[in-house]
Amino acid sequence: MITFDHLSKEYNGVYAVNDLSLEIPGGEIFGLLGPNGAGKSTTILMLTGLIEPTAGRCLIDGIEVAKKPIEVKHRIGYMPEDVGFYTNLSASENLDFFARLYGLDASARRSRIDELLSLVNLDGVEKLVGGYSKGMRQRLGIAKALLNDPAVIILDEPTANLDPQGVADYRRIIKQMAADGKTVLVSSHILSEVSMVCTSIGVLSQGKLVAEGTWKDLTRVLQGEQVTILVETRDSMPEFSHPDLITAEYSNEQHEAVITARSDIRDDIADTLRETDVMIRQLTLDRSTLEQAILSYYNTGDEQP
């Protein structure tokens, strides 16, 4: 579990993080959203003990980071945005060095390193890290973050340099970690990426937490109790009726529809289409309006509605 308790960080009179209070329970994948300079990285640096807060505190599983940094660092796995390794060492040598810092013995190091390199598809790559692409370094960064089997995983812009296969692998790994009861904190400015993996999000703007909640809650709040559903079918679709339906606009000879509703009624729409033997091509929640709503927070620093 991660706890931010009235956390603030000030640089030359300017607050990079301002009175942040938040609790992220175990087993959750939490997305920390915000534009560049919103305070995401500063928050993470305080959480990892790399910088000290001006006020407030961060706790990992109830242990205060500033007071017991070594104990906390044994419990976390961290991958920064600009992940850096020793370029004169191979991937396994890099991981071996970091594993020694965790006090793992030789056999535990060997088996853990082999397991993780295989997990991120870097097994068998013998060249020095100096010759790695950014994507390969990012994969190695994910492996390094998992080296000590941490209870809390902190990832700063984890998919920035990954190829599609890498992104798919990353999603799979992160979801598995959460399923194993680990807490995952993902910092990103890419809303679509966060929406794919995170169970809840917080929006930071100008150092303040301006919105926070589960993805479903936030969707409802930010879209004003409305969701937009995009439907595309191979055959002409029937007109829908549902107590929560507000509007439905059909186009392209009833092959496409944009539906606004008070709740996510995709399951009911799918049932209706199945009953009428209409083949579904697309049935998605339109996140563009949600993205616009979140973006509207980015430079305002307004409080949550």
Partner 1 sequence: MKSNGLPVIARKELRDHFRSRKFLLIFGIFLIITIIGMVSGAAQYNKDLQSYNDRQSVADDDEYSMGFGWGKPSIMSIYLGVSGLIVTLGAILGIAMGFDLISKEKETKSLKILLSHPVYRDEVINGKALGGLMALAIALGITFIVTFAILLISGIVPEGDELSKILVYGGAAFLMILSYFALSLFMSTVANDSGKALVYTLVIFVALMSMPMLLNGPVMNMIIGEPPEYPEEAICSNTGYSSMKVEYSVSSGDGVFEEPKPDPVWEEYQKRSDEYWNKRQSVSDFITLISPTMNLQTISYKLLIPDYSRMMSMAFSSAEHDGSEMPETDVFADIFKNIIALFAFPALFLGLAYVRFMRMDIR
User: Of the two residues 10 and 264, which places its CB atom closer to partner 1 in the complex?
Assistant: 10
Among 2, 58, 73, 142, binds partner 1 (CB under 8 A): 73
Which amino acid belongs to residue 282? Q
Pairing of β 76-79 and β 152-156: parallel
User: Of the two residues 102 and 250, which places its CB atom closer to partner 1 in the complex?
Assistant: 102
Torsion of CA 173, 127, 148, 83, to 10 degrees: -70
H-helix or E-strand spanning residue 163: none
Residue 203 C-beta: closest distance to partner 1, Å: 22
Can you name the residues that pair with 179 across neighbouring β-strands? none
Residue 210 C-beta: closest distance to partner 1, Å: 23
Query: Under the criterion CB under 8 A, does residue 74 sit at the interface with partner 1?
Result: yes
User: Of the two residues 69 and 213, which places its CB atom closer to partner 1 in the complex?
Assistant: 69
Residue 98 C-beta: closest distance to partner 1, Å: 6
Query: Under the criterion CB under 8 A, does residue 52 sit at the interface with partner 1?
Result: no
List b or e across 40-50, with b for residues whose CB sees 16 or more CB atoms inside 10 angstroms.
bbbbbbbbbbe
For 41-105, where are the E strands, in sequence order? 55-60, 63-64, 76-79
Residue 67 C-beta: closest distance to partner 1, Å: 12
Query: Under the criterion CB under 8 A, does residue 51 sit at the interface with partner 1?
Result: yes
Give the x/- contact pattern for partner 1 in 136-175, rule: CB under 8 A: --------x-------------------------------
Query: Under the criterion CB under 8 A, does residue 97 sit at the interface with partner 1?
Result: yes
- For residues 118 and 127, the answer to whether their CB atoms sit within 8 Å is no
**Three-state DSSP state, 165:** helix
User: Of the two residues 1 and 51, which places its CB atom closer to partner 1 in the complex?
Assistant: 51
- For residues 265 and 251, the answer to whether their CB atoms sit within 8 Å is no
For the record, the structure tokens of 254 come out as 């009833």
- Residues within the interface to partner 1 (CB under 8 A): 41-42, 45, 48-51, 68-71, 73-74, 76, 78, 80, 82-88, 97-98, 100-103, 144
